[in-house]
Amino acid sequence: MVSSRTFSVKRQTGFGTIALLCFVLLYVPIATLVAYSFNAGPSIAIWEGFSWRWYIAAWNNQQIVETSVRSFVIASIAAVVATTAATMAALATTRTRPYRGLNFIYGFINQPLMVPEIVTGIALLIFFAIVKIWTGYTGLGYLIVAHTAFCIPFAYLPIRARLENMDLTLERAAADLYATPWMTFRKVTLPLLWPGIIAGLMLAFVVSLDDVVITELVKSGGQDTLPTYMLGQLRRVVTPEINAISSVFLLISIVIVTLFFFLNRKQT
């Protein structure tokens, strides 16, 4: 048999054990976290029966509601702006003749993926401090701008992938059939690009929603997002309330990632 001669990592000794270990490390803590969010008692380690108590508590916690809303506002605006910018960047890097410095531009756009977050965070902190002195503005704008900036590469990657996989003769066919460049974009490129744009949008949204480091550094007083609030809570009393919020957070992420997966599958 041919297949028995090809290399398969599955048949290496220890493969099963290592794989099992990885799964345990990844999922047991999460499963525990979710399980204890339903704990009836006040402990995150001693099980006292099932209840929705902590979900209700979280729902009634004014601060949680407030920081959640702030997180969603920031993530929504940042994702939309970042995706718009990323779409234009992707068009400019795939729908033009290859030009000198294109690789430099790729690097430039993807910079947030490569520069350590803490460095970007501190840079923004200092920069915004100067701007604050000049303008006196201390609102949510700084956080939104910061999130937009580091979300761009996440939105850019799926959009560019989609554009690169698109058959260029389709756009040529449109031009051949009297469509101006703008009409070609509207009638052919954009409709075919939508799955990529949506995927980019969702990815940017999740990344923004999840951010701690940059947010922690850039936020002014009273501008906690849900993750930074949770982090703050952990330093004080820890109740299954934190499990409950985390579980909801997890659920939202799973829903978005699943949607992302299905949209990507439709592409091929």
The residues binding another protein (CB under 8 A) are 167, 169-170, 172-181, 183-184, 187-188, 191-192
Q: In the bound complex, what is the minimum distance in angstroms from residue 165's beta carbon to another protein?
A: 12
Q: In the bound complex, what is the minimum distance in angstroms from residue 162's beta carbon to another protein?
A: 13
DSSP per position, 72-117 = HHHHHHHHHHHHHHHHHHHHHHHSS---TTHHHHHHHHTHHHHS-H
Q: Please identify, using beta-carbon distances, which residue of 171 and 224 lies nearer to another protein.
A: 171
Q: In the bound complex, what is the minimum distance in angstroms from residue 192's beta carbon to another protein?
A: 6
Q: Please identify, using beta-carbon distances, which residue of 7 and 178 lies nearer to another protein.
A: 178
Q: In the bound complex, what is the minimum distance in angstroms from residue 66's beta carbon to another protein?
A: 42
Three-state DSSP class for 123?
helix
CA distances from 191 to 89, 171, 185, 188 (A): 17, 12, 8, 6
Question: How far is 57 from 166, CA to CA, in rounded Å?
Answer: 49
- Nearby residues of 36 by Cβ (< 8 Å), 6 or more positions away: 44, 45, 47, 240, 243
Q: In the bound complex, what is the minimum distance in angstroms from residue 79's beta carbon to another protein?
A: 24
Question: How far is 262 from 267, CA to CA, in rounded Å?
Answer: 9
Q: Please identify, using beta-carbon distances, which residue of 132 and 172 lies nearer to another protein.
A: 172
Q: In the bound complex, what is the minimum distance in angstroms from residue 168's beta carbon to another protein?
A: 9
Q: Please identify, using beta-carbon distances, which residue of 97 and 236 lies nearer to another protein.
A: 97
Question: How far is 71 from 41, CA to CA, in rounded Å?
Answer: 29
Q: Please identify, using beta-carbon distances, which residue of 188 and 204 lies nearer to another protein.
A: 188
Question: How far is 157 from 136, CA to CA, in rounded Å?
Answer: 36
What are the residues facing 50 on neighbouring strands? Answer: 39
CA dihedral of 111, 115, 117, 122, whole degrees rounded to 10? -100
Q: Please identify, using beta-carbon distances, which residue of 111 and 267 lies nearer to another protein.
A: 267
Q: Please identify, using beta-carbon distances, which residue of 110 and 264 lies nearer to another protein.
A: 264
Q: In the bound complex, what is the minimum distance in angstroms from residue 4's beta carbon to another protein?
A: 37
Interior/surface letters 14-51, b for 16+ CB within 10 angstroms, e for the rest: eeeeeeeeeeeeeeeeeeebeebbbbeeeebeeeeeee
Question: How far is 164 from 102, CA to CA, in rounded Å?
Answer: 15
Q: In the bound complex, what is the minimum distance in angstroms from residue 263's beta carbon to another protein?
A: 14
Q: Please identify, using beta-carbon distances, which residue of 60 and 169 lies nearer to another protein.
A: 169
